[in-house]
Chain A
Amino acid sequence: MTSSDNPIPPKPFNPAPAFIAVWFAVLWASCLGLDISFTDLLTGMDDMGEYLSRYGTPDFSDLSRYLELLAQTVAIAVCGTFLAITFSILLAPTAARNLTIGPLAYRAAREILNFMRAMPDLLLALVFVAALGLGPLPGVIALGIHTAGFLGKFFAECLERVDPGVIEAMEASGAGRTQTLMYAGWPSILREAAGYSLYIMDRNIRMATVLGLVGAGGIGLALHDTLRLFEYNEAAALIIVIFVTLLAFDYISSWIRKKIS
């Protein structure tokens, strides 16, 4: 028997309760800072029921216009994603440590991608609407730039995970950088890249439905207008149309992604 007479040492300081206490303090401070009162929220629940009942009878009389806008929304997302894929295919190899041209180019590419990612697409859309005027084109550019940041970073990280032996073998056979990329880089990450691009496509359709709020085309403006004019029944119809479309695309894209992987 290995039984020892060593007593249990004193329990070390457990940071979890302190951490949770700090977290709750932050939440409480946030509620104060934002002037949110949960008692008001609870008493407001009755009004909420009345408010929701205004959406009771969806009005689909303008359905053909909604579908037209919906098609434009999807088109914006498709073109935005295409733009993003193009950008990121150009930028990702430079932003991958193992395939980059030089340390300076690597840093620059990473920072560009980082900047694209950091700028919210709606802010970009706002700016491009101001520069180019109302219409779907600013929306396309905004989505393209913002998601190129995500795709580019993802592609670069995938490229960095490519087996160094494969790249070495290409270089040993005298291949140039572009050749290495075309034969060892992209083919190795094709599956992952296609899966993530689909995911981004899905996300862009979601975002495209709200681009209209800043005048960048799509179905979002119609929703904004109906709510501003208190046309709840039309708003309900629009929300249902958007909801069904997004759910459908969500299912399709997750089905395809499952197929790919």
Chain B
Amino acid sequence: MPSWPTRSGLPPAGVITTLMITATILLWAAPRAEMDPLRLFRSLPSLLDFAGKILVMPEWEYLPRLGQKMAETVMITILATSIALAASIPLGILAARNTSPHPVVFHATRSLLSAVRALPELVWALVFVSAVGLGPLPGVMALALVTMGFMPKFFAESFEVVDPHPIEGVVAHGANWLQVRLYGYLPLAMPDCIGTTIYILDHNLRSAAILGIVGAGGIGYDMVMAVRLFDYDRLLLIALSIYFIVTLLDRASDRLRAKVT
């Protein structure tokens, strides 16, 4: 009879508790999410059937419009990320323990940021679409807003780990509050901040690809329409082009990040 390498021969208490908690949570969640192994199994044929429907000859005439929609997606990403970037440097300075002018400002900014990033961009996009109408504008607004919740937090964390010695070198020469931040903290945290920006650009491209689901511009709208109208010859092209462009940016950003840090 094998036993575990513990004093009692039973698995460690921590392992047992973790497993039990996980099992309880799953038992609560599975029926609510209709996670039924049997149903999963039974759905396999319909999945395969569907796969057969999707894998059809692509609709080549759709290509020009696809290119235009993908370009729109990329432009939404760049615009939203740039707007957020402009706001993130000052917000990041306010949200870092060591660069914030006052602890109250620090805590207030941190709370504001976590409030702004709590709701997913699609919820904001939904609200903005109903406010300003269909089109890329609500998409840019939603994406920029949520990014403004994430980016300053990452920047602030980079400011907080800056080596204090070179900062002292700037302070000692009579630089003022703003100059210390611009000539000390900012250049020292720059590699981290560039890495963050690239990471967020990557993340925002994925988000921009689905904003169209609620009519906020980009390829997402065509995606929904292709499924609703059973245009599977388009769906395949859309999925492939998203895969292509996301992978491209992913590879490029990995390489760029390795270069700056």
Contacts and interface: CB of A to CB of B under 8 A. Distances in A.
A and B touch in the complex (CB under 8 A): yes
Interface of A: 23, 26-27, 29-31, 33-36, 41, 44, 47-48, 51, 71-72, 74-76, 78-80, 82, 114-115, 117-120, 122-123, 126-132, 135-137, 139-140, 206-207, 209-210, 213-214, 217, 220, 223-224, 227, 235, 239, 242-243, 246-247, 250-251
A118 B240 CA distance: 10
Given A74-B29, A223-B126, A115 B131 contact: no
B225 to A, nearest CB: 10
B239 A119 contact: yes
Q: How large is the interface on B (under 10, 10 to 19, 20 to 34, 35 or more residues)?
A: 35 or more
B123 interface: yes
Contacts of A213: 122, 126, 213-214
Given A27-B79, A75-B30, A136-B34, A118 B71 contact: no
Contacts of B119: 239, 242-243, 246
B242 A119 contact: yes
A2 B221 CA distance: 69
Given A33-B71, A122-B210, A247 B33 contact: no
A123 to B, nearest CB: 6
Nearest to B30: A79
Nearest to A249: B118
A217 B118 CA distance: 20
B192 interface: no
B130 interface: yes
Given A30-B75, A34-B137, A209-B120, 15 more contacts: A30-B76, A31-B79, A34-B75, A34-B79, A34-B140, A48-B131, A71-B32, A79-B30, A120-B242, A126-B223, A128-B47, A130-B227, A210-B122, A227-B126, A239-B127
B78 A30 contact: yes
Contacts of B210: 120, 122-123
B47 to A, nearest CB: 5
A126 B227 contact: yes
Given A126-B223, A131-B50, A27 B126 contact: no
B50 A36 contact: no
Contacts of A51: 131
Interface in B112-128: 114-115, 118-120, 122-123, 126-127
B82 interface: yes
B235 A239 contact: no
B247 A118 contact: yes
Interface centre among B78, B210, B223 (most CB of A within 10 A): B210
Nearest to B42: A132
B183 interface: no
Contacts of B39: 137
Given A75-B30, A224-B214, A114 B78 contact: no
B179 interface: no
Given A34-B217, A214-B213, A224-B126, A119 B26 contact: no
B104 interface: no
Contacts of A33: 71-72, 75
Interface centre among B72, B123, B243 (most CB of A within 10 A): B123
Given A33-B75, A34-B140, A140-B33, A78 B25 contact: yes
Given A119-B239, A137-B35, A209-B120, A247 B114 contact: yes
Contact of A127 (B32, B72, B220, B235): B235
Nearest to B74: A30
A132 B47 contact: yes
Interface in B34-93: 34-35, 39-40, 43, 46-47, 49-50, 54, 71-72, 75-76, 78-79, 82
Nearest to B18: A194
B250 interface: yes
Given A27-B82, A79-B30, A120 B120 contact: no
B139 to A, nearest CB: 9
Contacts of A247: 114-115, 118
Contact of B79 (A30, A47, A118, A136): A30
